[in-house]
A and B are shown apart, each in its own frame.
Chain A
Amino acid sequence: MIDPRTSVIYKRLKEIKKIFIIASSKGGVGKTLISILLSMGFRDLGFKTGLLDIDFTNPSCHILFNIDPSIKPTEEKGLIPPTVNGVRFMTISYFIGESGVALRGQDVDNIFREILAITRWNDTEYLIIDTPPGLGDELLDLATLIPWGEVILVTLPNRLSLTSIKRMIGIFKDQIKLIGVIENMWRQERGIRDIIINMDLKYLGYIPYVDRLDDLIEKFGLEGVYKKFFSEYLSGIISSIL
């Protein structure tokens, strides 16, 4: 018995210049926000950008994008992701809405292979993949199915988050292409830059802490908050990973 999907994944992704995997073994560090901001930053630099949410049990990118529930992928020799805020965005939320899905590892693996096999990113230049927290199936699948993907770790400026970064490096160092760390919720001059550099990692930059972010997004919209608080920090990060 042969699973045909694995054979076509490379063909689906090979035209994309770079694939960035946003990861952290710790939850609540802002991977989803960073993934979305990066995709908008690439978009603003004029690149055709895609964003794939592979948190299958608890997808959340669509909530920040506040997408219209009637939006669905277009069926054309597979599925073409809709464009949301100027970004080609793929998520299983198109199919399940806000329903929860409890999944075992084998199911997660199957969903990931299926999405990669049937999604057509067409002329997308850069693809950002938002991953769920943890060191589980999604990261193992990424290392197997997209070994050329470039991993960006997200951390908060605190000891717990840095410890989880160290764990990830210990496990995945030789299995993934780790290109650096973004510090989220930066609050003070210097932050954890030196600590990251001392860990032999590249410090890609920071995104500042913004108080009551949810309220601000509700008031000004994601695009408004992005432009007001975040966009100026992204060009430096993006230029360091291009």
Chain B
Amino acid sequence: MVHEWSLAEAVLEAVKKVAIDSGISKINRLIIGLGELQNIDIELFKESIEILKGEYSSEIQIDEIEFEDEEAVFKCRRCGEVWRLRDVELGEDEREAIHFIPELLHAFVKCPRCNSVDYEILSGRGVVIKRIEGVK
């Protein structure tokens, strides 16, 4: 099993913590955001979540999981240019590096307008938990 497993495990650990802290006994709906920049393999991620749900079943029950894609958008701090991942070209090794650590984009990509390396990732970085709905 690949790198996606570790992120799936992080999601379930976080959900477990929220459930314990909030006194939630059952999660009805979990919404996970998947940032375009990290480019995780959605099928492997879902498979990892399903296997791990079994391992965590004594601590949390999760009924429904939804996945929402988030477009990666960047903004230059120097000139204010806003651009998207599709606006830049990346090699295979570079994509793999960013897959593991999204901020490594800064090693490979500059602002397409002013060439600055000082830009921020506005959205679509990686895996986030967007919403947890449960019952106490």
Contact = CB atoms under 8 A, between A and B. Distances in A.
Interface of A: 1-8, 11, 75-79, 92, 95-96, 99-104, 106-107, 110-111, 114-115, 117-118, 120
B105 to A, nearest CB: 9
A75 B11 contact: no
B103 A107 contact: yes
B62 interface: no
Contacts of A6: 14
Contact of A4 (B97, B108, B127): B127
A92 B14 contact: no
Contacts of A107: 103, 106
Contacts of A96: 97, 104, 107
Contacts of A75: 2-3
Contact of B7 (A11, A115, A118, A120): A118
A118 B103 contact: no
Nearest to A57: B106
Interface centre among A2, A102, A117 (most CB of B within 10 A): A2
Contact of A114 (B15, B101, B106, B128): B101
Contact of B100 (A7, A76, A95): A95
B101 A2 contact: no
A168 B5 CA distance: 38
A77 B1 contact: yes
A99 B107 contact: yes
Nearest to B98: A95
Given A101-B107, A111-B103, A106 B120 contact: yes
Contacts of A77: 1-2, 5-6, 9
B96 A95 contact: yes
Contacts of B6: 8, 77-79, 117-118, 120
